[in-house]
Structure 1
Amino acid sequence: MTSPDTLDITLTPPPGGQILHQSDRATIIWGDCRDPDVIAQVPLDYDLLCTDPPYGVGWQSSRGKNFAKIEGDDGATDWPGVLRLWARRLRNSRHVYVFGYSSDELTEPLGLGPTAEIIWDKRAIGMGNLSMPWGPGHEVITFGVSNVNPKHGGKARQGGLTARMRQGSVIRVPRKNATAVTRHPTEKPWPLLAQLIESSTMRGDLVVDPCAGSGSTGVAAVLEGRRCFLVEVDRQYAELAVQRVQAAERLARQMEAS
């Protein structure tokens, strides 16, 4: 029997997902990015794919944090194959940033042309394997240029459509220390994502993140004057993304009005 105080909340997103927030700057969907009906909602010819998919390593919480296991992080999902479906809707010769995967794993599935390896220097040493004398202090980000989509026509460029001048492949942005990680176990700092977004888009461009987590990509996009389309399968994180992006929208409007 269900008590009167029990909330009947569905934890699995409906087919096609559910739009939790939509404005002229952002769309946030609670949904499974592997769902074809969710993918079909992504605007065709968007401008940047920037995402941090599960790595398939079965992330475990630590230091007593009550984080749930990350959906899709059991190694059973072919994430490069999933992202291929998202990359097909990307505009010709635009850019892709994917955390945690090498270019060898992504070039063929995503149909990438030129690629590069970016190193995120976290300015701190992580836990890693404590039996080893070296602790992890960086993370790999694969940059790629979408190859020609025959459906769209045109010729692929070499990745020169950027808002900033050419720069080095090491980005130094401090990560949060363990005690400050309270929203999402693999949350990326938005200033890191802002550098990627600013380097590969112009103001008003649409940034897409199908594995949005707590919404850092959306926060960075909005604060950089871009638009965002986010999808997150975990209801708790999707709602958190809404809160953070809405706060970024308020700040962006204040900055534009000043």
Structure 2
Amino acid sequence: MAEFDGPPAGGEVLYESSTSRVVWGDCRDPEVVRQVPFQYDLLCVDPPYGVGYDSGRSATFTKIAGDDGSVRWPAVLAEWVGPPGTHSRGLADARHLYVFGYRPDELTTPLRLGGSAELIWDKQKTGMGNLAHPWGPAHELITFGVHVKRPSDRVKGGGRLSARLRRGSVLHYPRPNGGSAVRHPNEKPISLLSDLIESSTMRSDLVVDPCAGSGSTLVAAVLCGRRAWGVEIDRTYAQRAAERVEAAEKIAAAQLTC
């Protein structure tokens, strides 16, 4: 598989329907950010963590763009929720976000969170990790947060009582193993993403993922009856995401006619 080749300025739409859009683009590109619909309903994103992931299967997966520790992802995501001083751009006021790989204290200020919680994804499998350590990684952090645009509302406690469904903070979903993770090295289970989406949105709400990978979040959104809007910087993964979203829309449409 070829190494990463950057997208054009402003991105390129690979798939678009009345309910979904998949863009091959760089989520740090201001022209791409400006295309995101104002007042969308949920941000659900798994940004590269800067760990220099190496799957050991270079013939299967490309290196993950942005996974070298050089990108300040909280600052990037702040543009997607709407930077300080904006009240209509980005994520709608008092709506939710889920960010994989970060603690709430790292995101509270840049993402203007009125309330937050640290969730643990129990992957039910032990990864390789650093073999010099006696403990192998078997979980992943997820920050749940409520985006509150006005500082005065955050001071008053806005967003602290926000959950539609109150559940435990440890989420038990097996991760795709080496044989089944064929689309992306960090592929997330649809069941996990579906539960996050259903806990924080209503049908027809718009779910946004600026680091879409192979499109699992977008697929989960479509299958849950939501709209989906995603961006992926790697052309190969973006094309996979586009194909998966189109297929998911056909499945969702068939279910509606049953």
TM-score for both structures, normalised by structure 1: 0.90
Matched ranges for 1:42-61 at <5 A: 42-61=36-55
Check the 8 A contact 1:161/1:201 in 2, yes or no: no
- C-alpha separation in 2, matches of 1:64 and 1:85: 33
Check the 8 A contact 1:208/1:230 in 2, yes or no: yes
Partner of 2:187: 187
Quick one: which amino acid aligns to residue 203 of structure 2? R
Quick one: which amino acid aligns to residue 144 of structure 1? G
SS of 2:42's equivalent in the other structure is strand
User: Residues 115 and 220 of structure 1: is their aligned pair in 2 closer, same or farther, counting only changes over 3 Å?
Assistant: same
Partner of 2:113: 112
Check the 8 A contact 2:116/2:160 in 1, yes or no: no
Which one is further off, 213-222 or 106-115?
A: 106-115
Question: 1:92: how far off?
Answer: 0.3
Question: 1:76: how far off?
Answer: 1.0
Which one is further off, 23-32 or 59-68?
A: 59-68
| Residue segments in structure 2 that go unaligned for 5+ positions in a row | 83-89
Identity of aligned residues (%): 58
User: Residues 237 and 149 of structure 1: is their aligned pair in 2 closer, same or farther, counting only changes over 3 Å?
Assistant: farther
Partner of 2:86: none
Partner of 1:4: none
- Alignment deviations for residues 210-236 of structure 1 (CA, whole Å, 9 cap, x no partner): 000000000000000000100001010
Question: 1:187: how far off?
Answer: 0.9
Partner of 2:127: 126
- C-alpha separation in 1, matches of 2:239 and 2:161: 34
Question: 1:11: how far off?
Answer: 3.3
Question: 1:66: how far off?
Answer: 3.4
Pairwise CA RMSD? 1.8
SS of 1:28's equivalent in the other structure is strand
TM-score for both structures, normalised by structure 2: 0.90
Partner of 1:39: 33
Partner of 1:198: 198
- Alignment deviations for residues 43-86 of structure 1 (CA, whole Å, 9 cap, x no partner): 00000000000101111122565322111111111111000000
Check the 8 A contact 2:115/2:159 in 1, yes or no: no
SS of 2:110's equivalent in the other structure is helix
- C-alpha separation in 1, matches of 2:132 and 2:5: 38
Runs of 4+ in 1 over 3 A off after TM superposition: 63-66
The alignment status of 1:20 with 2:37, answered yes or no, reads: no
Check the 8 A contact 1:83/1:110 in 2, yes or no: yes
Question: 1:157: how far off?
Answer: 3.2
- C-alpha separation in 2, matches of 1:232 and 1:175: 21
